[in-house]
DNA sequence: AACGTGAGCAACCGCCTGATG
DNA sequence: CCATCAGGCGGTTGCTCACGT
C-alpha cells in the first residue's frame, strides 16, 4: 500500500488567487518553522489554510519566498536566459538555478511573453535557436503583426517560392505597396505600420541593415523606384499564387538577417517614386522582383558573428 | 464613457520521476 | 519488486489591467 491521496482532489479546497491573509498565514507558518516546510501535503492543515499543499508550495516558491527578486529582467539576465535556453531547452527550473532570485515560473513567463516574440521577429526559431525556414520567417514576423488583412498574409505565404528571406521581405513590402489603393502614393497607411514609430503596431526593423550592407538604403530606393512601374490588377491577390509560381527564382545561397530588416518605413519613400506609381503602366511580377534578386547576400546564420551581433542588437529593441 | 483587444502574469492542470510502504 | 503517491516540472488557462477605438 502506498501513501494516502493528495489533498488537491478534496472537495471544498479553495482555488484561485491568494488573499493577503492567506499569504500572511502561510509566511508566518513557514517562518515559525525556521523556513523549513517539511511536508507540503500536511502544511495546509497545520497552518490552518484551506488550500492544497501543491498550491501552497507554488505560492511560496513563486511569490512569497523572501529571496525572490522582483522587477524587470536586466539585459544580462535576458542574455543569460537565451544562452541557457539554447543549451537546455525548456528546462525552466534548471535555467532558474542560474539566475539568483528568479523563479522558473517567472522565467517561463518572461520567455513566452518577451523573448520568444523578440526572437521570432528576428527570424530565429525560439525552439531551435536556428534561423527559421524561409516561409516561416515572414510568418513569424507577421504573427507579431496583428491587423494585417488575411488576404495579405496569404499573399505573403504564396511567396514561398522565393528562396531568399530578403526577397520575400522585399516582395511583401511591394505587395503592401501595391495592395494599398493601387499605388505607392497611397501606400503610406499600410506601410506606416512598418515604421518603428507606429505605436509598435508592427515589428520594428531588427538588425540595422544599413550598417551591414553599405548603401542598403540606396538599394531599397532603387528597388522601390523599380516597383513604381507596377500597378496591381483587380484580381491581383487571387492570381498572386500563380504569379509567384511562375516567377519563382531560386537563390539557394541567398540569405538575409531577417525579413523585417528589409522593410523601410513608408515615411522614407521618395515622393517621386510615389508619383511615378500613378503614371507608369502595369508590368509583370517578375519585373517587379528582378531587381530584388540583385540585392547581394548579406548575412548568414552560419556566420560565426551572427549570434554575437544578434544578441547585441537585441538589447536595443523595444519589446 | 463604454467597449474591445491584447499583454502580462499568477495559478492551475496534468504528467513524470523518485521515494515510500 | 511493485503499487502508489508527493513533489517537481512544463504547459496552459484565465484573470486583470492598460491601451486603443
**pLDDT band (50, 70, 90) for residue A10:** low
Most confident option among A156-160, A214-218, A245-249, A292-296: A156-160
Most confident option among A115-129, A195-209, A280-294: A115-129
Q: With H, G, I as helix, E, B as strand and everything else as coil, classify residue A131.
A: strand
A8 strand B contact, CB < 7 Å: yes
Please, what is the average pLDDT of chain A? 55
Using the C1' atom of nucleotide B7, identify the protein residue whose alpha carbon is closest.
Answer: A113
In angstroms, the CA of A45 and the C1' of B11 are apart by 20
A114 strand B contact, CB < 7 Å: yes
- Here the contacts of A46-52 (C-beta below 8 Å, separation 24 or greater) are A49/A22, A49/A25, A50/A12, A50/A13, A50/A14, A51/A13, A51/A14, A51/A22, A52/A6, A52/A7, A52/A8, A52/A10, A52/A13, A52/A15
Cβ-based burial of A249 (10 A; exposed 0-12, middle 13-18, buried ≥19): middle
Domains detected in chain A:
13-64 (1.10.10.60), 75-121 (1.10.10.60), 134-313 (no CATH)
Q: Please compute the mean of the pLDDT values over residues A184-195 and round it to a whole number.
A: 34
A94 strand C contact, CB < 7 Å: yes
User: What pLDDT is recorded for position A65?
Assistant: 84
A105 strand C contact, CB < 7 Å: yes
User: What pLDDT is recorded for position A61?
Assistant: 87
Most confident option among A6-10, A125-129, A236-240, A261-265: A125-129
Closest CA to A86 of A119, A121, A133, A123: A119
A68/A318: higher pLDDT: A68
Q: How far apart are CA A227 and CA A282, in angstroms?
A: 10
Q: How far apart are CA A226 and CA A222, in angstroms?
A: 6
User: What pLDDT is recorded for position A98?
Assistant: 87
Q: Helices A216-227 and A165-179 meet at what angle, rounded to 10?
A: 50
A19 strand C contact, CB < 7 Å: no
Amino acid at each position: 500500500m502506498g501513501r494516502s491521496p493528495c489533498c488537491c482532489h478534496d472537495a471544498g479546497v479553495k482555488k484561485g488567487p491568494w488573499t493577503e491573509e492567506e499569504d500572511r498565514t502561510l509566511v508566518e507558518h513557514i517562518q515559525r518553522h525556521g523556513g523549513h516546510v517539511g511536508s507540503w501535503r500536511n502544511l495546509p492543515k497545520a497552518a490552518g489554510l484551506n488550500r492544497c499543499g501543491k498550491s501552497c508550495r507554488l505560492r511560496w516558491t513563486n511569490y512569497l519566498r523572501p529571496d525572490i527578486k522582483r522587477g524587470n529582467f536586466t539585459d544580462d539576465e535576458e542574455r543569460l536566459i537565451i544562452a541557457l535556453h539554447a543549451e537546455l531547452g525548456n528546462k525552466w527550473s534548471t535555467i532558474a538555478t542560474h539566475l539568483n532570485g528568479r523563479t522558473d515560473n517567472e522565467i517561463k513567463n518572461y520567455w513566452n511573453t518577451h523573448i520568444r516574440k523578440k526572437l521570432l521577429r528576428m527570424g530565429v526559431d525560439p525552439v531551435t535557436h536556428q534561423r527559421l525556414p524561409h516561409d516561416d520567417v515572414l510568418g513569424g514576423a507577421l504573427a507579431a503583426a496583428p491587423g494585417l488583412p488575411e488576404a495579405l498574409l496569404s499573399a505573403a505565404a504564396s511567396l514561398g517560392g522565393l528562396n531568399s528571406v530578403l526577397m520575400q521581405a522585399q516582395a511583401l513590402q511591394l505587395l503592401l505597396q501595391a495592395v494599398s489603393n493601387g499605388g505607392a502614393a497611397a501606400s503610406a497607411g499600410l506601410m506606416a505600420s512598418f515604421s518603428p514609430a507606429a505605436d509598435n503596431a508592427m515589428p520594428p526593423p531588427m538588425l540595422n541593415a544599413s550598417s551591414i550592407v553599405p548603401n542598403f538604403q540606396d538599394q531599397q530606393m532603387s528597388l522601390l523606384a523599380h516597383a513604381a512601374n507596377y500597378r496591381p490588377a483587380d484580381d491581383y491577390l487571387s492570381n498572386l499564387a500563380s504569379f509567384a509560381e511562375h516567377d519563382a527564382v531560386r537563390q539557394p545561397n541567398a540569405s538575409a538577417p531577417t525579413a523585417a530588416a528589409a522593410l523601410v518605413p513608408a515615411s522614407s519613400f521618395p515622393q517621386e517614386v510615389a508619383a511615378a506609381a500613378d503614371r507608369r503602366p502595369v508590368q509583370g511580377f517578375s519585373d517587379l522582383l528582378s531587381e530584388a534578386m540583385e540585392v547581394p547576400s548579406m548575412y548568414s546564420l552560419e556566420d560565426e558573428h551572427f549570434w554575437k551581433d544578434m544578441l547585441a542588437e537585441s538589447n536595443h529593441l523595444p519589446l
